[in-house]
């Protein structure tokens, strides 16, 4: 069982890399960690689960 966990940052540059990995690799589960903008605007070729975080309000220690 292969799982992919990736973080989508605010820039679209990272989105291209993550999108290619999703498209080219066979994974049983894909989990993306992103903000509200990423959740609303990122599209993937395969089903993904998204975890939405607010990096501006949540202390880094709580995110870890």
Q: What is the pLDDT of residues 16-36, one digit of tens each?
A: 899 999 999 999 999 999 988
- pTM score, two decimals? 0.82
Query: What φ, ψ does residue 35 adopt, rounded to 5°?
Result: -100, -175
Measured on CA atoms in the order 22, 2, 5, 48, is the torsion positive or negative?
A: positive
Pair 31, 51: CB distance under 8 Å = yes
Pair 32, 47: CB distance under 8 Å = no
Q: What is the pLDDT of residues 33-55, one digit of tens each?
A: 998 888 999 999 899 999 998 87
Q: How confident is the model at residue 5 (pLDDT cuts 50, 70, 90)?
A: very high
């Amino acid at each position: 069982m292969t799982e992919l966990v990736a973080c989508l940052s605010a820039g679209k540059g990272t989105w291209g890399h993550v999108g290619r990995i999703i498209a080219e690799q066979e994974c049983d589960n894909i989990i993306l960690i992103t903000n509200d903008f990423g959740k609303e605007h990122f599209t993937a070729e395969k089903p993904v689960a998204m975890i939405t975080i607010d990096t501006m309000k949540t202390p880094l220690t709580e995110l870890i």
